[in-house]
Structure 1
Amino acid sequence: MNQEKERNNFTGTLGFVLASAASAIGLGNIWRFPFLAARDGGGLFLVCYLVLVATFGYTLLSSEIAIGRKTRQGPLTAYTQMDKRGSAIGVLACLVPVLILPYYCVIGGWVLKYLAAFVSGAGLAAAGDKYFTGFITSTWEPIFWFAIFMAAVVFIIYLGVEQGIEKYSKVLMPVFFLMIIGVSVYSLTLSYTDASGVTRTGWEGFLVYTVPNLEGVTFSKFLNVLMDAMGQLFYSISVAMGIMVAYGSYAKKDVDLSQSINHIELFDTLAAFLAGVMIIPAVYTFMGKEGMSAGPSLMFISLPKVFAAMGSAGSVVGIVFFVMVTFAALTSAMSVQEAIVASFMDRFDWERSKATLLIGLYALIGGIIVCLGYNVAYFELPLPNGAVAQILDLMDYISNIVFMPLVAIGECLLIGWVVGADWIIEEIEQGKYTFGRKSMYRIMVKYVTPVLLFILFLQAFGVFN
């Protein structure tokens, strides 16, 4: 089978950049980035994150996109084409999206449920203390919303690269940015006086978010902030999960990869920063610093309470917010499924329709099991990092905390010590283009990035707890 002739492609640079950025901008940007920034000294976290974007993130993103375009393969087979010893990396890189797809689409169903609640005028009820817990622990309703979200993902992937992924990304991403900018500006104008007479404003919350707080910062604390920023960046830019390898394989040879990678990182970083501008001032205004919390509780518990406290405007803001989050969840879920579809098409010579439907069926079954993990199949399992997990948390731990660092470490060792950094640099510089940070890239991919990744991997086992 001639992959070069038959493989689908993005139509050009714009389609490639928007689709890749759409993949990177997901739920982690919206609920995890603001929480970490608020917890880790505001501007201190932002500075660490920006430095890592320009070095650590750039190295991994450049590597995976170049691997994809040079091999014209999905993640399962791309690493083997680099060197036969890369087969294990390819298997792990394919297993990551296989684990992520079912539970990510379940969370996408949660987002749809809240969007429906605000559209129907039930936003005040959604702000209730037991609303979220009551919803996810019910038997059939989470499955219903998950199935709708899953069907939308399968439909777009079934349409293909150009008519599905690229077409919808070109529409959803501009609308997403218009919405997040609008809500961010509104968030800065908020003001609230609580029952004790204390007045808090959105601008004060913005300063909490952006001004570095160095009080009590020790080397150990700084290292924790650095690891938080690296962990956030790690899955924020969709590396080590096969996505960027698959998307890179769809990029045409005349696309300037170096410039495109810069644009992808710019869009992703801007979206993460604006998510903080949108969320932190609003939560601070109505709930104070204690309102910030990690994970789904920020988006499904804290923010609905904030929207309810806004009065009549809160219903509109809630609708806009959950439409925006739906877009982010949908584009990321599309890319997760596409990484698996590309792998199976390349490895087993399947047609897109067959791969899409069979993987969709697997995700449907897996997602139902995840939904039942909050009721009839509920259990609690202590993890090495000190957390307690049920089905969704366990899948997230294995994929994000264990497998992804291993994929990235293997990738760096393969590039830096087996095939050589020039293997990547030659692809990025193909034709008339230049790779402006190639000296930094050589050092990062061979020495610095593997060490940082190994430290991050050790965190999975509670080494630094």
Structure 2
Amino acid sequence: MAKQPREQWATRTGFLLAAIGSAVGLGNIWRFPAVAYDNGGGAFLLPYLIALLTAGIPLLIMEYAIGRKYRTSPPAALRQMARPAQVLGWWQVAISFVIATYYAVIIAWAVRYVGFAADQAWGDDPEGFLFGTFLKAADEPGFVSGYVSGVLWPLIAVWVVVLGILAFGVRRGIETANKIFIPLLVIFFGALVVRSITLDGAAEGLDAFFTPDWSELDDGSVWVAAYGQIFFSLSIGFGIMITYASYLRRRSDLTGSAMVAGFANSSFEILAGIGVFAALGFMAQNAGVPVGDVATAGLGLAFVAFPTIISEMWLGGLFGVLFFLSLVIAGLTSLISIVQVVVSAVQDRTGMHRLPAVFIFGGAVAVASILLFPTNEGVYLLDASDHFINQYGIALAALVGVIAVAWLMRKLPELQRDADATSAVSLGHWWRICLGLITPVVLGWMMVDSLRKEFEENYEGYSTGFLLGAGWSVAIGALVVGVLLSLIPWKTAEGGLTDLDLKTADEAEARRRKQDRHGEEDH
């Protein structure tokens, strides 16, 4: 069996839409507005912009450059940079596997809430409806005791859609899906924002969101929060952008693409803040309380606060359908990119064709998701897994990755030359300074601060036993799996990725560059 040619994005627009779709996810809608409000309101936008320019976009460019240069998944790309670095790549694959298992469940909840919003099925008690009637959550955290059919069947449907799209490949599947989903998301969420700002009390909500508290900028935690939001919202640190960039053409503009994707993501976050706080202003006015009393984040915002708003407003059903459809679409585009990391790594490691890779290994992610999360204890498992894999998976992997590339392997100059050769905007010394100094220092401080809080008190008051089983074991397990996978002998699979030495890799690189110079129209 001859080695399979690597797929490519049909157009630069297709790649950008996929990258934006991966970055724009559930966290943009329910995390950013509350983080901004709690950290100085309008003043938070200054450290947020600085974080985007000094960490977010530089990291995006680095991951794009790695993916395009080595044209393979994170483990194989990092292995070609330095053999021990493949541990980091497999760690990222394991992190993606974990995140995909629970991320799909939240999308399944949103699917059900599209229907619930139409007739406001939650009645007068959205919180009781969510945890009692719908999720049938157990009274205490624990492990699987029973399944909830109302969550199970939409979760299966979500996985059928995701695996179906992935089965069609990068160009006919992922790219085509994002060309449909991203415009729909802009239309639906744009309509929702327009409706929000016309509500009574919207001005008070927007005033609470945008009024700057400049004194907050003296607080180091505000700057840490800004960098944290950028890291968690741009899909960097766990292999997605390396994977997506590996399907780029050789002459693609990396710097320009990173800027477009980064600013598009941030623009959507600010738009989400406008929509959310306009609606919260309406809710606060109806309740006769300050906006701060109703401002919340996460599941509470999406599945408790917004249903309350929907119940109180004229044409609330339509507003609710648009809101939850936006959640579904934003979630799907991100979930597709996360599972693609696993599929791509398997293909490059084994030489397996796409269909079996998707259905066997993507299917394994789906099975784990279906077995663990549509259960009475699922919401607790989800909460603990999400917290620990974000704090000690994504953030820690990003820290180790940037230190490995910038300090240990000293690959930044080489990656910079590769990016500058085809980009409209050349990278200066600022890029290496950001990645070599600013990003590691901020990520390191975030890790220390997070661990300090972790040991001061148990997350959400959960028992130590539960946190060890559903939190720490998940985060540490992802690292252990990464190490174990990297220890498996890297044998050449028939039709798969060969174990190139550096000389052969350089020769192959030169041949591909010569071939790709003809007929490419990326600029």
Structure 2 length as normaliser, TM-score? 0.80
**Alpha carbons 2:43, 2:217 under 8 Å: kept:** no
Q: Structure 2 CA distance, aligned partners of 1:159 and 1:392?
A: 29
* Matched residue, 2:319: 317
Q: Structure 1 CA distance, aligned partners of 2:108 and 2:12?
A: 32
* Matched residue, 2:214: 214
* Matched residue, 2:412: 421
Amino acid corresponding to residue 6 of structure 1 in structure 2? P
Q: Structure 2 CA distance, aligned partners of 1:2 and 1:405?
A: 39
Q: Structure 2 CA distance, aligned partners of 1:321 and 1:441?
A: 38
Q: Structure 1 CA distance, aligned partners of 2:426 and 2:194?
A: 35
Q: Structure 1 CA distance, aligned partners of 2:428 and 2:98?
A: 34
Whether 1:445 and 2:443 are equivalent positions in the alignment is no
Structure 1 residues 137-216: aligned runs within 5 Å: 137=136, 139-191=148-200, 201-214=201-214
Amino acid corresponding to residue 33 of structure 2 in structure 1? P
Deviation at 1:463, TM superposition (A): 4.9
**Alpha carbons 2:120, 2:311 under 8 Å: kept:** no
**3-state SS of the aligned residue for 1:129?**
helix
Whether 1:133 and 2:131 are equivalent positions in the alignment is yes
**3-state SS of the aligned residue for 1:235?**
helix
CA spacing shift, 1:354–1:230, aligned 2, 3 Å: same
Structure 1 length as normaliser, TM-score? 0.89
Amino acid corresponding to residue 299 of structure 2 in structure 1? P
Question: Which stretches of structure 1, 4 residues or more, deviate above 6 A after TM superposition?
Answer: none
Structure 1 residues 294-309: aligned runs within 5 Å: 294-309=297-312
- RMSD, aligned α-carbons: 2.0
CA spacing shift, 1:353–1:127, aligned 2, 3 Å: farther
Describe the superposition over 1:281-320 as per-residue Cα deviations: whole angstroms up to 9, x where unpaired: 1112213321111211110000110011103x11111111
**Alpha carbons 1:126, 1:304 under 8 Å: kept:** no
**3-state SS of the aligned residue for 1:96?**
helix
Whether 1:253 and 2:237 are equivalent positions in the alignment is no
Deviation at 1:213, TM superposition (A): 1.8
Amino acid corresponding to residue 293 of structure 1 in structure 2? T
Q: Structure 1 CA distance, aligned partners of 2:17 and 2:428?
A: 24
Deviation at 1:415, TM superposition (A): 2.2
**Alpha carbons 2:342, 2:362 under 8 Å: kept:** no
Whether 1:81 and 2:80 are equivalent positions in the alignment is yes
**Alpha carbons 2:54, 2:438 under 8 Å: kept:** no
Deviation at 1:7, TM superposition (A): 0.7
Amino acid corresponding to residue 131 of structure 2 in structure 1? T
CA spacing shift, 1:210–1:160, aligned 2, 3 Å: same
Whether 1:398 and 2:407 are equivalent positions in the alignment is no
Structure 1 residues 255-270: aligned runs within 5 Å: 255-270=252-267
**Alpha carbons 2:193, 2:271 under 8 Å: kept:** yes
Q: Structure 1 CA distance, aligned partners of 2:108 and 2:81?
A: 38
* Matched residue, 2:71: 72
**3-state SS of the aligned residue for 1:345?**
helix
Deviation at 1:435, TM superposition (A): 4.1
Deviation at 1:399, TM superposition (A): 2.1
**3-state SS of the aligned residue for 1:109?**
helix
Q: Structure 1 CA distance, aligned partners of 2:97 and 2:330?
A: 19
* Matched residue, 1:226: 223
Structure 1 residues 24-39: aligned runs within 5 Å: 24-39=23-38
Q: 2:341 aligns with which of 339, 342, 348?
A: 339
Deviation at 1:218, TM superposition (A): 7.2
Deviation at 1:85, TM superposition (A): 2.6
**3-state SS of the aligned residue for 1:6?**
coil
* Matched residue, 2:460: none
Q: Which structure is larger by alpha-carbon Rg, 1 or 2? A: 2
Q: Structure 1 CA distance, aligned partners of 2:38 and 2:417?
A: 41
Describe the superposition over 1:354-402 as per-residue Cα deviations: whole angstroms up to 9, x where unpaired: 1111223222322134325534x78xxxxxxxxxxx3212322332110
Whether 1:370 and 2:372 are equivalent positions in the alignment is yes
Amino acid corresponding to residue 169 of structure 2 in structure 1? G
Deviation at 1:260, TM superposition (A): 0.8
Q: Structure 1 CA distance, aligned partners of 2:185 and 2:293?
A: 28
Structure 1 residues 75-114: aligned runs within 5 Å: 75-114=74-113
**3-state SS of the aligned residue for 1:240?**
coil
Q: Structure 1 CA distance, aligned partners of 2:156 and 2:90?
A: 27
More moved, 58-67 vs 287-296: 287-296
Deviation at 1:169, TM superposition (A): 0.4
Describe the superposition over 1:156-200 as per-residue Cα deviations: whole angstroms up to 9, x where unpaired: 111110111100101111121122222212211211xxxxxxxxx
Amino acid corresponding to residue 447 of structure 1 in structure 2? L
**Alpha carbons 2:40, 2:217 under 8 Å: kept:** no
Taking only the aligned residue pairs, the percentage that are identical comes to 28
Q: Structure 2 CA distance, aligned partners of 1:166 and 1:126?
A: 42
**Alpha carbons 1:123, 1:315 under 8 Å: kept:** no
* Matched residue, 2:53: 54
Q: Structure 2 CA distance, aligned partners of 1:186 and 1:342?
A: 41
**Alpha carbons 1:190, 1:202 under 8 Å: kept:** yes
* Matched residue, 1:354: 356
CA spacing shift, 1:265–1:146, aligned 2, 3 Å: same
**Alpha carbons 1:127, 1:304 under 8 Å: kept:** no
Deviation at 1:153, TM superposition (A): 0.8
CA spacing shift, 1:372–1:321, aligned 2, 3 Å: closer
* Matched residue, 1:387: none
- Listed as ranges, the gaps of 5+ residues in structure 1 are 192-200, 379-389
More moved, 239-248 vs 70-79: 70-79
Q: Structure 2 CA distance, aligned partners of 1:91 and 1:422?
A: 25
**Alpha carbons 1:96, 1:404 under 8 Å: kept:** yes
* Matched residue, 1:384: none
Q: Structure 1 CA distance, aligned partners of 2:62 and 2:39?
A: 29
Q: Structure 2 CA distance, aligned partners of 1:125 and 1:112?
A: 18
Q: 1:460 aligns with which of 442, 450, 456?
A: 450
**3-state SS of the aligned residue for 1:250?**
coil
- Listed as ranges, the gaps of 5+ residues in structure 2 are 138-147, 285-290, 457-523
* Matched residue, 1:382: none
Q: Structure 2 CA distance, aligned partners of 1:444 and 1:129?
A: 44
Describe the superposition over 1:416-443 as per-residue Cα deviations: whole angstroms up to 9, x where unpaired: 1223311211221224x34434311110
Q: Structure 2 CA distance, aligned partners of 1:435 and 1:403?
A: 32
More moved, 59-68 vs 390-399: 390-399
**Alpha carbons 2:102, 2:382 under 8 Å: kept:** yes
**Alpha carbons 2:114, 2:321 under 8 Å: kept:** yes
CA spacing shift, 1:149–1:190, aligned 2, 3 Å: same
Q: Structure 1 CA distance, aligned partners of 2:364 and 2:21?
A: 24
Q: Structure 1 CA distance, aligned partners of 2:51 and 2:220?
A: 13
**Alpha carbons 1:23, 1:332 under 8 Å: kept:** yes
